[in-house]
Amino acid sequence: MTTSCRVCKGPVREFLDLGRQPLSDAFPVPGRTEEEFFFQLAVGRCEECTMVQLLEEVPRERMFREDYPYHSSGSSVMRAHFEETARRLLATELSGDDPFVVEIGCNDGVMLATVSEAGVRHLGVDPSGGVGEVARDKGVRVRTAFFEESTALDIAAGEGPADVVYAANTICHIPYLESVFRGLDALLKPTGVFVFEDPYLGDIVRRTSYDQIYDEHFYLFTARSVRAMARGFGYELVDVERLPVHGGEVRYTIARRGARTPSPAVAELLAEEERTRLADLDTLRGFASAVRRNRDDLLALLRRLRDEGRRVVAYGATAKSATVANYCGIGPELVSFVCDTTPAKQGRLTPGSHIPVRGPEAFRDPYPDYALLFAWNHAEEIMAKEEGFRAAGGRWILYVPDVRLV
């Protein structure tokens, strides 16, 4: 299948089809699964700018609803990450006279809360009203809206220009980047920067972490594709930073062309991508083959454990797990339930696969024989919290980068 690139309009050639998938963060109520929305989750690479992207766009209003259940503050690791991010911005880009920062997709305000406490002018923009209320309770100023050109024009008219526009795990969600960059033109100071961090295609390919591909992750960025995107809109990629969070991300810093000198880190990452042939279609097709092997290995293990009479539950009703469960065909016959700490998910069913979601207390009453770790990117934090499971003889099932027992 071929379509047109949402960034440069070049041809996008499919290299991986993960099948019919539901909305990853829409957990249906038992008995009401007939209302679920499905789409075809296929991913391709642009032959001109090399941007990797989904071939089918899910309407944004379906994904980012009033009751959007994900809260960035849910992990202690992520709380520490965003607090450190805020402190760095305060010490660098926001250290001048009356600085102003806008965050696209501020979620529950975990980053901007630190900025607010420092007394720095800020505004979060998020379309999901529920998480916006949580942010306001932390003292964060929030505008409930999608960020696009019209939103940015309104903010600039009322607040003045911004020193920094920041986003975390958000820009990859937005197919209509042309409108976002027109918004940046209206909102950023001439010397201002656009800083965003998202899952990195290099880590996804290296780890075979295909669960990073789901409805909300429309783009899978590389330094090469981000540089091409920035140049196409009159900007330049001036810095990159590898981040260990969420299974591997890169923080990109973009400025107006000529405003800043690119750091050596940009050339270094571009050279690494060239050396590993990350953007080559053959590399991506090899990744697709590894994904299919991973699926077969995981299904074989779960079926063997079922046939042996072993009790298996899953840990973490993550958005990523929707891709794994539906692509692999994992349902309640293989996994009894998923435990998750998010109250909004408890008592519901996982998207598409319809595995019951229960609170964390169910995990310990009694412990299962095996636990499929859907929230693998928080493995260290979770395993430290659940030492009793290992002590009781339980074993974790991991599938990134390969299927194994721990």
Let me know if residue 44 belongs to a domain: no
Let me know if residue 93 belongs to a domain: yes
Let me know if residue 360 belongs to a domain: no
Let me know if residue 295 belongs to a domain: no
Query: What is the percent of the chain with per-residue pLDDT over 90, rounded to a whole number?
Result: 91
Q: Which structural domain, as residue segments, surrounds residue 204?
A: 72-281
Q: In the Cβ-directed half-sphere of 173, how many Cα atoms lie within 13 Å?
A: 22
The Cα-based distances of 101 to 94, 159, 189, 235 in angstroms read 8, 10, 11, 19
Angle between helices 319-328 and 281-307 (to 10 degrees): 80
Domain count, the chain: 1
Radius of gyration of the chain (CA): 21
Let me know if residue 380 belongs to a domain: no
The strands making up 188-199's β-sheet, listed across from edge to edge, are: 142-144, 121-126, 100-104, 162-168, 188-199, 249-256, 235-243
Let me know if residue 338 belongs to a domain: no
pTM value is: 0.94
Let me know if residue 47 belongs to a domain: no
Q: What whole-number distance in Å separates Cα of residue 399 and Cα of residue 207?
A: 10
SS3 call for 27: coil
Please, which residues bridge with residue 313 across strands?
Answer: 371
**CATH value at residue 109:** 3.40.50.150
Phi, psi of 144 (to 5 degrees): -85, 100
Let me know if residue 132 belongs to a domain: yes
Q: What whole-number distance in Å separates Cα of residue 283 and Cα of residue 304?
A: 32
Q: What whole-number distance in Å separates Cα of residue 19 and Cα of residue 24?
A: 13
User: Tens of pLDDT along the chain (406 residues)?
Assistant: 779 999 999 999 999 999 999 999 999 999 999 989 999 999 999 999 999 999 999 988 888 766 666 677 778 889 999 999 999 999 999 999 999 999 999 999 999 999 999 999 999 999 988 889 999 999 999 999 999 999 999 999 999 999 999 999 999 999 999 999 999 999 999 999 999 999 999 999 999 999 999 999 999 999 999 999 999 999 999 999 999 998 999 999 999 999 999 999 999 999 999 999 999 999 999 999 999 999 999 999 999 999 999 999 999 999 999 999 999 999 999 999 999 999 999 999 999 999 999 999 999 989 999 999 999 999 999 999 999 999 999 999 999 999 999 9
Give 349-374 pLDDT, tens digit per residue. Answer: 999 999 999 999 999 989 999 999 99
